[in-house]
Amino acid sequence: MAERAPLVSRIVPLVVALFFLLVDQVTKYWVAAHVSLGQVAWSWGGDFFWLVHARNTGVAFSMGDALPGPLRSVLFLLVPIVVLILLAVFYWRDKSLFGIQRWALALVLGGGTGNLIDRAFRKHGVVDFLSFKFYGLLGMERWPTFNVADSMVVVGVALLVLSLLFSRKKRSGQPQ
């Protein structure tokens, strides 16, 4: 029984991440099939939230979208594959990871895989569709359009950073 608990604590976050990966792929498929590129299919709160079909041939905030095709393939396909494999091995082998860190890495693995699937199999780039008004903050009227996989990566990285910050304080004896 003692061996089963660690196995369950490793598998459950991956199953949840797999569920969100499926949600990511289904929503991207629906948007690509039913919403014309650039079309706002639905809005809420005036123009606060849009469900809009956008494509991203780069990475976060479309960085690298102007790179030549072969370089883009190496940077946005091969490098992420290697990183995801290394993260998966680390996730599975490292016994010092605790709960929130496992959840964080599972989300990053799921989200990274979701966008990698798009880069590998959608010739016009990653499907993005969630768009929020940003009211001119940081010089942007709208936050860059994103998807479920992007959200998984952002939440996973944020949880990982927070867990590392708080675990350091705990180890050093500082009050939390």
Query: Would you name the residues annotated as active-site residues?
Result: 128, 150
Cα(49)–Cα(139) distance, rounded to whole angstroms? 18
- What sections of the chain are H helices per DSSP? 4-34, 69-73, 79-93, 99-121, 148-172
Whole-number Å distance between alpha carbons of 37 and 167 = 44
| Closest C-alpha among 108, 112, 113, 115 to residue 28 | 115
User: φ and ψ at 123, to 5 degrees?
Assistant: -65, -20
Question: If DSSP codes are grouped into helix, strand and coil, which group holds residue 41?
Answer: strand
Q: What is d(CA 65, CA 73) in angstroms, rounded to the nearest whole number?
A: 11
Q: Please say whether the beta carbons of 36 and 42 come within 8 A.
A: no
